[in-house]
Structure formats: C-alpha cells, structure tokens
Structure 1
Amino acid sequence: MLAIEGLRAGYGETEVLRGVDLTVDAGEIVTVLGSNGVGKSTLNRALSGILRAKTGTIRFDGAAIEREKPPAIVERGLIHVPEGRRVFPNLTVRENLDLGSYARGKPRRAQNRERVFTIFPRLRERMTQRAGTLSGGEQQMLAIGRGLMAEPKLLILDEPSLGLSPLLVEELFALIKRIHADGVAVMLVEQNVVQSLEVADRAYILAEGQFVMSGPAADIAADPELKRTYLGL
C-alpha cells in the first residue's frame, strides 16, 4: 500500500531524513519508533505532502505521490492525524467530525459518523460539546475519529499517546487495535515503545534520520541491545 525508497527531506539546508526505505502492506499495523528529534514528524509531513521530499520516491496505492499536494493525497485515502490533536476548539464534536469528511467520504458522512461513535462512545455523549472543553484523551479520540471520517486506506497516527495518562494510553492502544480490526492499515509513529510493539506487525527504528533496524515487532521487542542502544531503555 505504501512504499518509500531513498527518501531525503529536511528544512532549508538541514537534511533530516537521510535516505529512508519503508513499506506498509494492506491490513498491517507498522510502527515507527524513535526519540524526539530523529525525524519522525518530518517523515509524516513528507508523506502527507506538507513537506516536499528532496529526493526519493513515495508510492501510495500504486501511484507516485511525492510531488502531489496535501489535498490530492487526502483524496487518495492517506490520512494523517498529526501530533498535538489539532482539534477546532470552538466547534462542537460533531462539527469537528464532519470536517473530517470535507475532502473524502462526504456521501457517507452519516454512516461514518455513526461508525466513529461506535468506536468512541464518549464522543457520542459529547456530540454537542465544544472540542476545546474536552479532556486530553477525549480530544485525541476526536482527532482520530475525524481522520476516520475520511475513510482512510492508511491512517498515520503521529504520537497519539503523547501527554495521556497511563490508563488512557492503555485504552487508546486498544482502540487502535479495534480500528485495525475494521480493515484500516495503520502507521503508528510513536515514542511509546512497549505498547507500540505489542500492537504492531512490523517495526522500524529511526535514529538520526535513518532507519537503523526493521523487522517483525516481536523480534524487535525481544532485542535488548536494540532497546539499550537506540531507544535508551
């Protein structure tokens, strides 16, 4: 579904990604792990078209997208839920969700909204509440729900557990598994190593703009040298 080869990207003269290769197959959860500042958000921005790749190729669902603009990428079904939730605070939960189907999924807006409420029952309870008054965990649910409104073929989640309590983190990862069980491929970009590896099929470890290891998530979870050297555990 997603194939990246030789991707280089950065800001001005600063190169952040230094030639990365990555694949995500249909039906997979793939996690990209790394500490702050190693290039995770840069990777997401390049995949979403917000940041133009300097070199390399990005193919999504059979089409080259490295030169496409964000709206065209969204219309193809690659949906990025950014770090920091980015909900519209003065709009209601329902209005935030409906905006998720602005470019894709509009004909099935009502059905998709009901699907989101089934996955996130708390959002149904707060449907008319302004998003800015929700808790951090509820705002994260809303951000993911808004992404689901666009009927993603691949859903990129950027640091979804950031700033959440341990209990909410557990709930969030359970919900990610449920979304995946509904047939959505997920690329999970996280610092939360243990739980990300528990839900993922495969994993990539990003350090200083390059993938230093990749493979089955279970193998990476069992490698103590990897944890110590690259993840600081």
Structure 2
Amino acid sequence: MLEVRDLRAGYGGTEVLRGLSLSVGQGEVVAVLGSNGVGKTTLNMTLSGLVEPWSGEILFEGRPIHGRKPSEVVSAGLVHVPEGRKIFPNLTVLENLVLGGYRRSKTGRNTNIERVFRTFPRLKERMKQAAGTLSGGEQQMLAIGRGLMSEPKLLILDEPSLGLSPLLVEEMFGLIEQLAKDGLPIMLVEQNVVQSLDVASRAYILENGHVVLSGAAETLRDDPELKRAYLGL
C-alpha cells in the first residue's frame, strides 16, 4: 500500500528526516514509534503533502505521490488523522463528519456517516452536540470518524492516545484493533510503545529522523535488550 524510500525532509536548513524508509502492506497495522523530536510528525506531514520532501520517494499503491497537493493525497486514499485531533469545536459532531467527506461524492456521504456511527455509537448519541464540548476520548473518536468519512484506503493515526486517561487509552486501542479487523490498513504513529506493539503486526523505531530498528512487533516487544536500548522499558 505505502512504500517510503530514503525520504529526506525538513524546515529551512534543518534536516529532520534523514533517509527514512518504511512500508505498510495491505491489511497491516504498522507502528511507527519514537519519542518527541525524532521526526514522527514531520513524516506524517510529508506523507500528507503538507511538507515538501527534499529527496526520496513516496509510493502509494505503486504510484508516486511525493510533491502532490494534500487534497490529491486524500483523494488517492491516504488519510491522516492529525495529532491533537484538530476538530472544529464550534461545529456539531455531524457537521465535522460532513466536512470530512467533502472530497467524496454526496451520494455516499450518508452511507459513510452511518458507518462511522456503527463504529462509534457514542458519536451518534451526540451528533447535534458542539464538538468542543465532547470529552477527550469522544473528540478522538470524532477525529478518527472524520478521517473515515474520506473513505481511506490507508489511515495514518498520529498519537491517538495522547492526553487520554488509561481507561480511554484501552478503549482507543480496542477501536484501532476493530478497524484493522474490518480490513483497514493503519499506520499507527505513537509514543505508547507497549500497547502499540500489542495491536501492530510490524513496527519501526525512529531516532534522529531515521529508522534504527524494525521487525515483527512481537520480536520488538519481547526482546529485553531492544526494550532497554530503544524503548526505555
């Protein structure tokens, strides 16, 4: 689905991504893990067309998308749910969802809304409520639901557990597992190492803008030396 080859990008004269390569296959949940400042957000913004890559390739379904406009990336089916939710607080839940589907046909909008409500029944209960009055967990559900409205072929989730209580974190990772079981490939970009490795099939560990470790999530989770050296566990 997604292949990133030797990607370099940054801001001004500062290089953030330094030859990063990774891939996400059909039906996979792939975790991209690392602490603050290692380049995770820059990677997501570059994949989404918000940051122009300096060099390297981004292939989606075998076709290059590096250098394309964000709207074209979304239309291709690569959808990014950003860190911090970025919902429209003064609009209702339903209005936020409708905006998420603006690149798709009006005929499919109601079908997509019903799909979101089946996935997140709590959003249906609050469909006429201002999004800014939702709890943190509900706002994260809305952000993911808005992403689903764009009919993604691959979904990038950027720090979906950020700022949530432990109970809501458990619920959020359960929802991610359900989306994956429904057949949606996911690139999960997180600092929550333990639970990300529990839901992922493979993982990449980032340091200083490049991949320092990659492999099966089970291997990375269970190897004590890898935990000490790279995961801080």
Q: Give the TM-score category using the shorter length.
A: over 0.9
Structure 1: runs of 5+ lacking an equivalent: none
Letter in 2 for 1:3: E
Shift of 1:225: 1.7
Letter in 1 for 2:210: Q
Shift of 1:105: 5.0
5 Å-filtered alignment, 1:146-225, equals 146-225=146-225
CA distance in 2, matches of 1:91, 1:28: 33
Aligned to 2:40: 40
CA distance in 2, matches of 1:223, 1:62: 33
5 Å-filtered alignment, 1:66-77, equals 66-77=66-77
Letter in 2 for 1:66: H
Q: Is the 8 A contact 1:74 1:104 kept in 2?
A: no
Letter in 1 for 2:136: G
Shift of 1:62: 1.6
Aligned to 1:57: 57
Q: Is the 8 A contact 1:105 1:150 kept in 2?
A: no
Aligned to 1:126: 126
Q: Is the 8 A contact 1:33 1:190 kept in 2?
A: yes
CA RMSD of aligned residues (A): 0.8
Q: Is the 8 A contact 1:87 1:143 kept in 2?
A: yes
Shift of 1:104: 2.6
Q: Is the 8 A contact 1:105 1:149 kept in 2?
A: no
| Residues 60-108 of structure 1 deviation map (CA, whole Å, 9 limit, x = unaligned) | 0121011101000000000000000000000000000011100135431
Shift of 1:58: 0.2
Q: Is the 8 A contact 1:18 1:209 kept in 2?
A: yes
CA distance in 2, matches of 1:84, 1:8: 25
Say whether 1:14 aligns with 2:3: no
SS state of the match for residue 102, structure 2? Answer: coil
CA distance in 2, matches of 1:107, 1:84: 30
C-alpha spacing 1:158/1:93, structure 2 compared with 1 (3 Å)? same
CA distance in 1, matches of 2:108, 2:214: 37
Shift of 1:169: 0.4
Q: Is the 8 A contact 1:89 1:130 kept in 2?
A: yes
SS state of the match for residue 195, structure 1? Answer: helix
> What's the TM-score once normalised by structure 1's chain length?
0.98
Aligned to 1:231: 231
Q: Percent identity?
A: 67
Question: How many pairs are equivalent?
Answer: 233
Shift of 1:224: 1.7
CA distance in 2, matches of 1:225, 1:107: 53
Shift of 1:25: 0.5
> What's the TM-score once normalised by structure 2's chain length?
0.98
CA distance in 2, matches of 1:128, 1:32: 35
Letter in 2 for 1:137: G
Structure 2: runs of 5+ lacking an equivalent: none
Aligned to 2:92: 92
Shift of 1:231: 2.2
CA distance in 2, matches of 1:168, 1:105: 33
Say whether 1:2 aligns with 2:8: no
CA distance in 1, matches of 2:106, 2:193: 36
Shift of 1:16: 0.6
